[in-house]
């Protein structure tokens, strides 16, 4: 049986964290339904592109971050992700 690993933000690719945090900052700054919609669309495209390629632990973590960010932006709960990533 494989040992479960505890997830830390250190395992998430730094560029993915920065992409998501930038999107969240833009959504909060503009504060419009259109900005949310664009961010969600962009993140969903990133997940789709990842799913079409080779999978690895790194891309899986990246896709997971994008997917959770998408859902939290839809729910207008971005601060949860900011808190997890250690920026709020």
Query: In this structure, is residue 3 part of a structural domain?
Result: no
Domain limits at 21? 14-83
* 1 falls within a domain: no
Domain count along the chain: 1
Model confidence over 3-40: pLDDT tens digits?
Answer: 666 656 778 899 999 999 999 999 999 999 999 999 99
Residue 32 lies in a domain: yes
pTM: 0.85
**Is 69 within a domain?**
yes
| Long-range Cβ contacts of 19-28 (<8 Å, 24+ apart) | 19/46, 20/65, 20/66, 20/69, 20/81, 20/85, 21/82, 21/85, 21/87, 23/69, 23/73, 24/69, 24/73, 24/78, 24/81, 24/82, 27/73, 27/78, 28/78
The percentage of residues in the chain with a pLDDT greater than 70, rounded to a whole number, is 89
- 2 in any annotated domain: no
pLDDT-derived band at 70, boundaries 50, 70, 90: very high
Does residue 88 fall inside a structural domain?
no
Is residue 7, in this structure, part of any structural domain at all? no
């Amino acid at each position: 049986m494989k040992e479960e690993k505890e997830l830390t933000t250190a395992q998430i690719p730094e560029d993915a964290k920065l992409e998501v945090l930038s999107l969240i900052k833009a959504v909060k700054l503009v504060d419009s339904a259109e900005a949310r919609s664009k961010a969600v669309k962009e993140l969903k495209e990133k997940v789709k592109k990842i799913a079409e390629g080779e999978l690895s632990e790194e891309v899986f973590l990246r896709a997971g971050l994008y997917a959770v960010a998408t859902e939290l932006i839809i729910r207008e709960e971005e601060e949860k992700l900011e808190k997890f990533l250690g920026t709020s």
